[in-house]
Amino acid sequence: MRTFVAIDLDPEIKKKITLFIEKLDRFHPNIKWIKSQGMHLTLKFIGEIPENKAADIQVTLNDIASWHAGFPLKVVGTGIFPEGSRLPRVLWVGIENRSELIAVQKDLESKLEKLSIPREKRMFHPHLTLGRVKSAQNIAPVLEELSDHTNTRFGSMEVKKITFFKSVLKPSGAEYSVLSEIKLK
């Protein structure tokens, strides 16, 4: 089963981001936009695991959550990956107030590595994916609109839990289901 650990977003933040995506969608038809139910802040993509390994991961997630108190999370600004490119692959919304978030993510990397889950090779860059660019043709209006929102506030929330998700890839896009929600201390 394909799994990952993430922070599920408050409905109000999802609503604001969805409205922003609807605005961007008018400019460019060749972007696969994230649906509201798929909006989350991925902390650690685990990948394919045998079902019996989920219990070990759950124990580790419970330990990590017991070390971290809840913290504020602000969703602010927009950008692209790769940064500065005229041919972006990913459009995103940014995260502010990241020190507690980064501490949780580092503990996930460290402790899950002990369960033979490899560390991410890239540095953690907290963001929420808006869409994936399928074709860069006529992308300029989307990039202009994104650059107009580099300081836009999409909302804030108190992070009180992390979520262990299962992901099933389908032709219509990934479908997510919650394996468990783990409360922070």
Domains of the chain: 2-183 (3.90.1140.10)
Q: What is the pLDDT of residue 111?
A: 97
Query: Would you report the helix, strand and coil content of the chain in percent, each value rounded to 5?
Result: 30, 40, 30
pLDDT in tens, the chain (185 residues): 999 999 999 999 999 999 999 999 988 778 999 999 889 999 999 999 999 999 999 999 999 999 999 999 999 999 999 998 888 999 999 999 789 999 999 999 999 999 999 999 999 999 999 999 998 888 899 999 999 999 999 999 999 999 999 999 988 888 999 999 999 99
Q: What is the pLDDT of residue 128?
A: 97
Q: What is the pLDDT of residue 30?
A: 86
Which tokens in the block code for residue 58?
């759950």
Q: Which pTM does this prediction carry?
A: 0.93
Residues labelled as active-site residues: 40, 127
Q: Which sign, positive or negative, has the C-alpha torsion 133, 117, 120, 16?
A: positive
